[in-house]
Amino acid sequence: MQGFKEKGRVNTQDTAAIAVETAIRYNTDIVAASNTGYTIDALLEEKKKQKYTGTIIHVTHAQGFVKKDENELSEEKRQELLEQGVKVVTSGHALSGTERGISSVFKGAYPVEIMAHTLRMFGAGVKVCVECALMAADNGAVSVSRPVVCVGGTGGGADTVCVITPSYSAKVFELKINEIVCKPLLIEG
Ligand SMILES: Cc1cc2nc3c(=O)[nH]c(=O)nc-3n(C[C@H](O)[C@H](O)[C@H](O)COP(=O)(O)O)c2cc1C
């Protein structure tokens, strides 16, 4: 595994290069988290550079995540990415969603959010990779029968690549993390 000294956006281009190399190695598609399309642009640049022919599946934040009736991915950018062959998935977050609606009213600890926090022990990006694989599968954008390359980050951009065999959120424990290819080392100081 390649370990990054820092977490976050600074690793986006390196992470995109590793994601595409890994997708070529596994002969598979890429599922990537992106709020605005910034990470997807980095992946499209690498796709061209490495002559990668697979599909990029872009998982956005849920509608209304920041502002009611809005999405951080502008309509204009969504259209631009669709025209470049990117599949775009916008849906409820598989590792918070309805449960966050409950915890924000009743307070307390609930199982799905505990799962999310446990996955964050590997770094936020690993949790995001798992969540996006579930969301892509629930939306029919990927098969649950073969591994895909997943890309996540910490707050913005990309810093993590995992190879994951997806599952549907209703069968969450059937999801398998096959390989963690790169992530921040999370060593403080
Ligand atoms: C569904 C979803 C869930 C996310 N959850 C988290 C999270 O729990 N922690 C975190 O640091 N980033 C989270 N992110 C942010 C991503 O890891 C990534 O950094 C971001 O989507 C990249 O956006 P950009 O391409 O616009 O920079 C999430 C993104 C998406 C789409």
Region 7-19: mean pLDDT is: 98
Report the side by side order of strands in the sheet with 30-33: 2-4, 176-184, 156-165, 148-154, 30-33, 56-59, 87-89
Q: In Å, what is the CA distance from 93 to each residue of 24, 59, 159, 181?
A: 28, 10, 20, 24
Tokens, residue 137? 């599968």
Region 86-92: mean pLDDT is: 98
Homologous superfamily of 2-184 in CATH? Pyruvate kinase, C-terminal domain (3.40.1380.20)
Angle made by CA atoms 161, 165, 167, in degrees to the nearest 5: 120
Distance of CA 155 from the midpoint of ligand 1 (Å): 6
What is the rounded CA–CA span in Å between residue 46 and residue 51? 8
Which segments of 56-185 does DSSP mark as H helices, in order? 75-83, 97-106, 111-119, 124-138
Atom of ligand 1 nearest to the CA of 94: 1
Region 59-65: mean pLDDT is: 98
Query: Mean pLDDT across the chain, nearest whole number?
Result: 98
Atom of ligand 1 nearest to the CA of 154: 11
Residue 54 predicted with pLDDT over 90: yes
Q: How far apart are the first and last CA of the chain?
A: 21
Distance of CA 35 from the midpoint of ligand 1 (Å): 7
Distance of CA 116 from the midpoint of ligand 1 (Å): 13
Q: Ligand 1 pocket test: pick from 35, 117, 150, 182 the residue with the most ligand atoms within 8 Å of its Cβ.
A: 35
Distance of CA 171 from the midpoint of ligand 1 (Å): 23
Task: Give the domain ranges of the chain.
Answer: 2-184
Q: Does ligand 1 come within 6 angstroms of the Cβ of 153?
A: yes
Regarding beta strands 87-89 and 148-154, do their DSSP bridges make them parallel or antiparallel, or are they unpaired? unpaired
pLDDT at 56: 98
Region 167-189: mean pLDDT is: 97
pTM for the full predicted model: 0.98
Residue 58 predicted with pLDDT over 90: yes
Give the confidence band of 189 by pLDDT, cuts at 50, 70, 90: confident
